[in-house]
Amino acid sequence: PFLLEDDKIEYLIRKLREMPHIEMIRFGSRTPIVLPQRIDEGLKKVLGGYHKVPIWLNTQCNHPKEITEETARAVYDLMQCGVNVGNQAVLLKGINDTVPVFRELHQKLLRIRIRPYYVFYCEPAPGIDHFRTPIEKGAELIRDAIRGHTTGLAQPMYVLATNIGKIPLMPDYYIVERGEEEYTLRNHKGETTNIPVIPE
């Protein structure tokens, strides 16, 4: 949508804000990643200012090498306009499916003020099977690369987009057992602790 002319974006935003039931406006755009110079004075003027119907932007960055100084500046400029920025990555075999790359991606996103929001399981589509991982891989990466290794702000939700909506794919790695009197919990290091069961 940010490839539209400024006056068309302004028109859409204005018309949406005229609808009394609209609580927020959310854009999805890779422009901060692939065309950061698009976040120019004209667009900032269209997006900026205090409003009761705020603007949110979700971008898509899949690898830390996509994050440049120009991207960092574009995101900062968006935030100066009052636009919060999140990221929706896609889990891609051979691209971001290792612990070091996955951790670096999410830490680097936070360093430039992009909040990791979703990691999508790569959906089946013609010609992309070589990018698909086992479905468990994303949850394992969140467990092994992020939890306990960096801030909780870097923890995206791992989901699959389906015809019935987004479905979370995170198993419960942390509740090991529930007995009559207590739960046994395990952290990212494999250490365990217990807390009491509270009856309803």
Distance between alpha carbon 189 and the CA centroid of its chain, in Å?
25
CA-based nearest residue to 75, from 16, 133, 33: 33
Q: Is 74 helix (H, G, I), strand (E, B) or coil?
A: helix
Residue 21 to residue 6: CA distance in whole angstroms: 24
Please state whether the predicted TM-score (pTM) of the whole model is above 0.85: yes
pLDDT score for 145: 93
Is 80 exceeded by the pLDDT of residue 173?
Answer: no
DSSP 164: T
Q: Which amino acid is at 139?
A: A
The whole-number average pLDDT for the span 63-84 is 97
Q: Which amino acid is at 121?
A: Y
The whole-number average pLDDT for the span 124-153 is 92
Provide, rounded to the nearest whole percent, the portion of the chain with pLDDT above 90: 82
- Residue 116 near residue 86, CB atoms below 8 Å: yes
Residue 87 to residue 59: CA distance in whole angstroms: 5
- Residue 62 near residue 20, CB atoms below 8 Å: no
DSSP secondary structure letters along 98-161: SHHHHHHHHHHHHHTTPEEEEEE-----TT-GGG---TTHHHHHIIIIIBTTB-GGG-PEEEEE
The whole-number average pLDDT for the span 123-142 is 93
Name the band, by pLDDT with cuts 50, 70 and 90, for residue 174. Answer: confident
Residue 58 C-beta-side C-alpha neighbours within 13 Å: 13
Structural element, H or E, at residue 86: strand 84-90
The whole-number average pLDDT for the span 17-28 is 97
Is 90 exceeded by the pLDDT of residue 190?
Answer: no
The tokens 């969140």 sit on which residue? 142
pLDDT score for 21: 97
Name the band, by pLDDT with cuts 50, 70 and 90, for residue 171. Answer: confident
